[in-house]
């Protein structure tokens, strides 16, 4: 089961303030634990929404809205993707994350489970997605 652990942004991450050396060291140790356990798929920190944009779809039209975006609590500062055996294992890993914005700041991590192709009924479109997945996997080797 794949899960994304999403670190919610705060005013400092949106201002482009870099994490302290202490927090970076704690995150490195945590990331090493994920690697040693064989559950880490990917991870990244994200730059502030000031450097981002959104593409809005309305009917057949699209528009681009440049950041920054106002609702800091709804923005993402970083993420981990983990592959674990159960929801409880994902919860256990999330509880071990060092406080993303430091121990003196309130932080939140949202955990979301991925859809897997096996969750969908068989169809021609799903077969196509499986083929794309095979091509992606072959490219990583």
C-alpha separations of 58 from 21, 52, 55, 62 in Å: 44, 20, 10, 6
Give, for 62, the enclosing helix (H) or strand (E).
strand 61-66
Q: What is the pLDDT of residue 5?
A: 97
Q: Are 116 and 47 in contact (CB under 8 A)?
A: no
Contacts of 35 (CB under 8 A, 6+ apart): none
The pLDDT value recorded for residue 137 is 87
pTM score, whole prediction: 0.88
The residue to which tokens 């999330």 are assigned? 94
Cα–Cα dist 117/133, whole Å: 10
pLDDT at 141: 66
Q: With a cut of 50, which residues of the chain have pLDDT below it?
A: none
């Amino acid at each position: 089961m794949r899960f994304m652990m999403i670190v919610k942004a705060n005013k400092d991450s949106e201002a482009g303030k870099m994490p302290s050396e202490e927090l970076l060291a704690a995150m490195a140790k945590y990331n090493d634990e994920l690697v040693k356990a064989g559950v880490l798929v990917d991870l990244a920190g994200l730059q502030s929404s000031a450097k981002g944009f959104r593409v809005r779809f309305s009917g057949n039209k699209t528009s681009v809205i440049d950041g920054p975006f106002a609702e800091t609590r709804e923005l993402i500062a970083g993420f981990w993707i983990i592959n674990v055996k159960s929801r409880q294992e994902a919860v256990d890993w999330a509880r071990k994350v060092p406080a993303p914005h430091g121990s003196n700041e309130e932080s939140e991590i949202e955990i979301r489970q991925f859809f897997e192709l096996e969750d969908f009924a068989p169809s021609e479109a799903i077969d196509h997605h499986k083929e794309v997945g095979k091509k992606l996997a072959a490219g990583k080797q």
